Every structure is written in C-alpha cells, then in structure tokens.
C-alpha cells in the first residue's frame, strides 16, 4: 500500500511538471504518433509488393503491430531506463537514490516515467480495432482477461530485459552502447518470427524473447492455433525474465562501489 500511494504521488508531480510545458508535451505526443504512423506506412508499403509475408496477410501483420504497441507503450512509460548507466552510475546519482528508504529500482522507475507514452495504448487499440474489423475477428468475454495477462506479460518481458542490461553498470561503470542496440533488436518482435532465419527465431523466442511481446500473444486473438502454446507462455516468460532482472538488480546494488575516486 505504501508503494501504491507513492506511485500516485510521483505521477501527480510528474503531471504537474509536464503541464508546465504543455507545448513540449504535445510535441512529444505528436512525435510518438508520427513514429507509429511511419512504422504502419512501412507495413503498407511492403504489402504493396506482395500479398503474403511468411503466410501472414496485411491485416494480420497490422493487428500484430497494434497489439505490440500496447505493452511497448506501458514499457516506455514506466521503464524508461535507457540512460541508467550514464546518469546514475557515471554521474553518481545512484548514491542519492540509495540514501532513501525505498527500493532503488522503484525510485528510478518513478523518476524516469514518461506518462505521455501511454497514448501509444490508444493507438494500439485503434490499429487492432481496424485490423480486427477487416479480418472479421470475434472475441469471448474471457478474452479480455487473457488480453490483460498477455499485455502485462509483454511489458514485464521488455522491462526484465532492459533492467537486466542496465545492471551491467553495477559491475562496469564505463559508458556502454548495448542499450541502443537492444532497442533496435526489440523492433523485430513486432513482426511474425517465421519470416526470419531459424537462428533469429530461436533468439527472439528464448534468449531475447521479444516475440512474446507481439506475434505470439497476438496469434491467439488471430486464432492461429499452431501458436497457442507460445501465446499462453507470455505471462510466464514475463514473470521469469522480470524475476531474473530483479535478482540481478539486487545483486548489483550490493556490488555498487559508489561515486568518487
């Protein structure tokens, strides 16, 4: 309950800050929409030259992309730790965080939240609704619960992977380019894995399971029964990878030597 209350206090202060610079906030939201639109246009351009992509038609790919946007938006809003190494390790802000009686990861997540990224959830639903209508998809009442579990699972997978990468800073206080590279790799998860080489497919499933953020859970709602086993693994993979990241974080904090020379 303490952390729940603290979250709303952080969120309240964040919104006050962002509303002070309304134009900047609007520009950021519009830039996010533009980025999502460009990705959607890319899909349309690809299907301007082919009818199927690895056995998937245009509307199915668009539906997968729409689903992907939702857990990705939640991740972007609450796990914005791409600059953790430089800001908290190299510049020494981790020392400040550790003086407070609140878990260090929770503080950093709250300090780096970007709630405007949640507008990506709206975009995701709109894209899914469009593609679902074109495909004539039907849903049962329990699909809502399954959808929520899979979205949370996808968000935890993203969070777990990037938190794990951030913990490298506890052992190596030098700047690293791994985080931007991983962001680029994560984009592969928005497309069906069977269009890739089997090695890449294995990596996106079991090593860096970004496929569980997009194509695998979306395949359940697309009624692709051959992918159901992977789809229902999504919440489990989320718990496993996020659990690993918390373990690495807690271990790394114990190894942290502090700022200074």
* Residues 58-83, mean pLDDT to the nearest whole number: 92
242: nearest Cα among 65, 78, 69: 78
Distances (CA, A) of 198 to 37, 114, 232: 29, 36, 21
Half-sphere exposure of 33 (CA within 13 A, CB side): 11
pLDDT digits (tens, 9 = 90+) for 122-178: 999 999 999 999 999 988 999 999 999 999 999 999 999 999 999 988 887 666 667
Calpha distance 171→66 (Å, rounded): 37
Instruction: Using DSSP, state whether 52 is helix, strand or coil.
Output: coil
* Helix intervals (H) in 21-91: 22-46, 58-78, 84
Q: What percent of the chain has pLDDT over 90?
A: 49
User: How is the chain split into domains, by residue range?
Assistant: 2-255
Query: For the residues 90-99, what does the mean pLDDT come to?
Result: 88
Side-chain-side CA neighbours of residue 134 (13 Å): 13
The distance from CA 190 to its chain's CA centroid, rounded to whole angstroms, is 11
pLDDT higher than 70, residue 261: no
């Amino acid at each position: 309950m303490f952390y729940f209350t603290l979250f709303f206090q952080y969120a309240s202060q964040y919104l006050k800050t962002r509303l002070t610079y309304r134009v900047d906030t609007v520009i950021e939201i519009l830039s996010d929409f533009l980025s999502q639109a460009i990705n959607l246009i890319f899909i349309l351009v690809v299907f301007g030259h082919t009818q199927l992509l690895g056995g998937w038609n245009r509307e199915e790919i668009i539906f997968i992309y729409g689903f992907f946007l939702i857990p990705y938006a939640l991740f972007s809003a609450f796990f914005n730790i791409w600059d953790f190494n430089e800001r908290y390790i190299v510049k020494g802000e981790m020392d400040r965080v550790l003086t407070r009686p609140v878990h260090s990861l929770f503080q950093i997540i709250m300090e780096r939240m970007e709630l405007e990224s949640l507008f990506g959830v709206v975009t995701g639903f709109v894209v899914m609704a469009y593609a679902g209508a074109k495909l004539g998809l039907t849903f049962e009442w329990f699909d809502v619960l399954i959808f929520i579990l899979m979205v949370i699972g996808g968000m935890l997978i993203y969070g777990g992977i990037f938190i794990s990468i951030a913990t490298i800073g506890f052992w190596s206080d030098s700047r690293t380019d791994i985080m931007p590279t991983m962001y680029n790799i994560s984009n592969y998860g928005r497309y069906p894995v069977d269009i890739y080489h089997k090695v890449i497919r294995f990596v996106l499933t079991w090593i860096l399971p970004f496929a569980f953020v997009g194509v695998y859970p979306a395949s359940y709602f697309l009624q692709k029964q051959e992918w159901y086993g992977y789809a229902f693994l999504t919440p489990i993979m989320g718990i496993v990878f996020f659990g690993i990241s918390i373990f690495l974080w807690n271990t790394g904090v114990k190894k942290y030597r502090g700022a200074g020379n």
